[in-house]
Amino acid sequence: MTAANADPFAEFKAAQRELWALFAPVEIFTAAPAARLVRFAGIQSGQRVLDVACGTGVVAVTAARRGARVSGLDLSPALIERARKNAGTAGVEIDFTEGDVEALPYPDASFDVVLSQFGHMFGPRPAVAVQELLRVLKRGCRIAFSTWPPELFVGRNFALIARHMPSPTLPPGVDPPPSPALWGDPNVIRERLGAAVSNVLFERDTMIVPALSPQHFRMANEKVIGPLAKLVALLANDPATLADLRTDYEAMIAEVFEDNAVHQHFLMTRATKI
């Protein structure tokens, strides 16, 4: 990459790569929504499928167990390593690659289905991500993804974290990334996918995370949700702000805490590339 076309988000992505390395233990909770996304996308045996921002490969492995020929890509080498182990354990072959949703290392029209679960939403430039996701998808084929709506629990968590988090360091003149939660707003999704797709369809579902109390859930997430873990570390010398953050977070958790589980509603979207 020359200086002229250098990625202005290179530093931001390097930080993300480190943050998300903590995520592996959460796979036990994202495994069930992965099955929902794979079914919603209508994955069939023999299809060539890409799982973007695959993390530990929960969607990729689910699709491969249905007989699809799957590739998975993620920014985090630690999660890719875990994804390879997961594929081995499940007895499926998947081509996992370290990479960036904004620069997918696949030729045009490589895939019959492109999927992303709570993943592509973290690419800092939605227009670049959309261009890449649709570039590698064949015409007449499906893109499907799960995202967190801004007005619901996880979307509100993003806003809470953003309120306290220092802005990322970016080259002069480069706009900061929009909130990932905008990917959970159907109007924004329609606008971002634009005229390149047809048959846009939405469906809501729920990810259930068992926990003994809101406090237990908060403590567990402080260790495994990268952006939250980073913020807690940054506030180590500011106990008053850290205490406020924890109080606000636990109040939000309490709103969706029922029968010893946190109920996290998400949005699934699918569309056909024209």
Ligand X SMILES: C[S@@+](CC[C@H](N)C(=O)[O-])C[C@H]1O[C@@H](n2cnc3c(N)ncnc32)[C@H](O)[C@@H]1O
Could you list the residues that contact ligand X (CB under 6 A)?
Answer: 13, 16, 20, 23, 27, 30, 53-55, 58-59, 74-76, 79, 100-102, 117-119, 122-123
Closer residue to ligand X, CB minimum distance, 85 or 274: 85
As measured in angstroms, the least distance from the Cβ of 58 to ligand X is 5
One-letter amino acid at 153 equals F
Closer residue to ligand X, CB minimum distance, 30 or 47: 30
Closer residue to ligand X, CB minimum distance, 58 or 137: 58
Q: What are phi and psi of 211, to 5 degrees?
A: -160, 150
Q: How far apart are CA 12 and CA 10, in angstroms?
A: 5
Q: How far apart are CA 135 and CA 104, in angstroms?
A: 9
Closer residue to ligand X, CB minimum distance, 75 or 193: 75
Closer residue to ligand X, CB minimum distance, 74 or 185: 74
As measured in angstroms, the least distance from the Cβ of 72 to ligand X is 9
CA dihedral 72, 13, 149, 41 (to 10 degrees): -10
Inter-residue contact 128 to 104 (CB < 8 Å):
no
Task: Look at residues 83, 106, 231 and name the one whose alpha carbon lies nearest to residue 157.
Answer: 231
Scanning the structure block, which residue is given the tokens 């670049």?
A: 128
In the bound state, the residue with its beta carbon closest to ligand X is: 55
Closer residue to ligand X, CB minimum distance, 41 or 75: 75
Q: How far apart are CA 55 and CA 69, in angstroms?
A: 18
As measured in angstroms, the least distance from the Cβ of 2 to ligand X is 21
Q: How far apart are CA 259 and CA 267, in angstroms?
A: 23
As measured in angstroms, the least distance from the Cβ of 215 to ligand X is 22
As measured in angstroms, the least distance from the Cβ of 9 to ligand X is 8
As measured in angstroms, the least distance from the Cβ of 44 to ligand X is 21
How is residue 178 annotated by DSSP?
P
As measured in angstroms, the least distance from the Cβ of 118 to ligand X is 4
Closer residue to ligand X, CB minimum distance, 10 or 140: 10
Closer residue to ligand X, CB minimum distance, 140 or 178: 178
Q: How far apart are CA 126 and CA 131, in angstroms?
A: 9
Q: How far apart are CA 76 and CA 16, in angstroms?
A: 8
Rg (C-alpha) for the chain, rounded Å, is: 18
As measured in angstroms, the least distance from the Cβ of 239 to ligand X is 28
Task: Look at residues 189, 202, 185, 188 and name the one whose alpha carbon lies nearest to residue 40.
Answer: 202
